[in-house]
Amino acid sequence: MSFHSSAFFLLVSLFTVTIQADQTCRSNLKESTPTSRFVFSDNGTVTDTETKIIWMRCAMGQKWDGKTCAGKAHEYSWQEAMDAVAELNSDTFGEPSSWRLPLVPELASIVERQCFEPRVNLSVFPATPSKAFWTGMEKKGSSEQAYAINFGRGGVTPSKKTSVGPVRLMRDGPNGKWWKMDNVMKKGS
């Protein structure tokens, strides 16, 4: 093997290691979503004791195998995600189902500020891709955009609804929403 092909192989190997790097967490920051905040169910859901939201542990397309989320998260356009949720809720054999896309404050409530790549507690939400997840919130004044939260490095951004991204579903807790939109709007004003 020549020097150039050895150097190329080494460079490709280093790049591969970088792509497969593990989540990074900063120990100097307090956990924002400690595992103790969640109650785990055998059916692949968790209940957040702070917000009372019931979350699917896996992104749509992945399957809970009793230990982790197996498979690859499916990526949807925003409308495809809304349609997939409607189909899931209608395919319940007569049982009521109320899964939905979270709104920005709801999805932001599970962002782990101590970690990135992905920006989530992997003990609670294993195998979460470091990608922008859709929310159910459209951008005000733009019928072509909806908000997504980036679980790689973080941040909320409006994205074209034709873009694709993974989805994590939720159900409201027993008392409905844990926050009021009026309060969110006043804080942002």
Which tens digits make up the pLDDT trace of 74-87?
999 999 999 999 99
Show the low-confidence residues of the chain (pLDDT under 50): 3-21, 183-189
Closest CA to 158 of 179, 181, 134: 134
Give pLDDT, residue 97.
Answer: 82
Give pLDDT, residue 14.
Answer: 35
Residue length, the chain?
189
CB 107 within 8 A of CB 49: no
Give pLDDT, residue 17.
Answer: 30
Give pLDDT, residue 147.
Answer: 98
Give pLDDT, residue 22.
Answer: 86
Residue 49 Cα distances to 11, 34, 95, angstroms? 46, 11, 25
